[in-house]
């Protein structure tokens, strides 16, 4: 349970704090901590990294590395790996890879999975938990429907039976009775709005 709380806290802080890619050559610009953040007794919040770009989803590997999927390319790349090698709670090392923006990112059975708005890729992780070859992802799903504008991101989930679930968002949050066609069927469901 303790690990789950740490991940929950990390996700909560990630939603508030903008991540950073300035570690080795540039000065780290840490934002001021928002004093309005209320945490349960015994918990605290600190900045792990800041100014890394538009983070969408993140996943924490078993070795402690944090992989962040970026909505827009940063330094020409869409995935950021953050590493806290000395375990002091602050990422000292960063690596950008993947030449596509997007949303989905997860880890399962020795692979890092990441999505663009049209495709899903996977990267083999080595015994140390590092991506074996950042320049050669395996494209495992291609040609996902994308309509420009809202809700084109592809979130990912994997189950224990080997299935991968990819969310195909609709360009609208609601399709109500007022705008339904005569057959009473939402035409968006042919290509959108589900897995």
In a domain, 156, yes or no: yes
Sign of CA dihedral 14, 145, 190, 188: positive
pLDDT at residue 45, as a whole number: 83
| CB contact set of 70 (below 8 Å; sequence gap of 6+) | 52, 53, 54, 55, 56, 77, 78, 79, 80, 101, 102
Domain that holds residue 72: 2-190
In a domain, 195, yes or no: no
How far is 66 from 94, CA to CA, in rounded Å?
Answer: 10
How many domains is the chain built from?
A: 1
Contact 47, 80 (CB under 8 A): no
In a domain, 75, yes or no: yes
pLDDT at residue 81, as a whole number: 97
pLDDT at residue 153, as a whole number: 82
How far is 156 from 167, CA to CA, in rounded Å?
Answer: 7
pLDDT tens for each residue of 170-190:
766 666 555 666 666 666 667
pLDDT tens for each residue of 58-76:
999 999 999 999 999 999 9
pLDDT at residue 72, as a whole number: 93
Does residue 18 sit in helix, strand or coil?
coil
How far is 192 from 10, CA to CA, in rounded Å?
Answer: 31
pTM of the full structure: 0.73
Sign of CA dihedral 129, 135, 138, 142: positive
* Residue ranges of the chain whose pLDDT lies below 50: 1-30, 195
pLDDT at residue 24, as a whole number: 39
pLDDT at residue 2, as a whole number: 42
pLDDT at residue 18, as a whole number: 35
| CB contact set of 195 (below 8 Å; sequence gap of 6+) | 165, 166, 167, 168
In a domain, 20, yes or no: yes
């Amino acid at each position: 349970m303790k690990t789950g709380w740490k991940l929950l806290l990390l996700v909560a802080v990630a939603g508030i704090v903008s991540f950073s890619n300035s570690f080795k050559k540039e000065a780290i610009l840490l934002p001021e901590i928002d004093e309005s953040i209320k945490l349960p007794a015994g918990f605290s919040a600190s900045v792990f990294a800041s100014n890394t770009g538009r983070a969408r989803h993140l996943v924490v590997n078993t070795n402690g590395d944090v992989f962040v999927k970026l909505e827009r390319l940063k330094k020409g790349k869409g995935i950021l790996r953050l590493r806290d090698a000395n375990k002091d709670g602050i990422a000292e090392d960063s690596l950008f890879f993947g030449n596509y923006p997007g949303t989905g990112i997860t880890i399962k059975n020795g692979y890092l999975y990441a999505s663009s708005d049209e495709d899903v890729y996977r990267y083999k992780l080595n015994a140390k938990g590092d991506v074996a070859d950042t320049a050669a992802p395996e494209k495992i799903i291609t040609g996902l429907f994308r309509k420009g504008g809202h809700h084109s991101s592809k979130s990912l989930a994997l189950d224990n039976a080997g299935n991968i679930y990819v969310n195909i968002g609709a360009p609208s949050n609601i399709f109500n009775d007022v705008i339904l066609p005569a057959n009473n069927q939402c035409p968006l469901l042919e290509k959108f709005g589900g897995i």
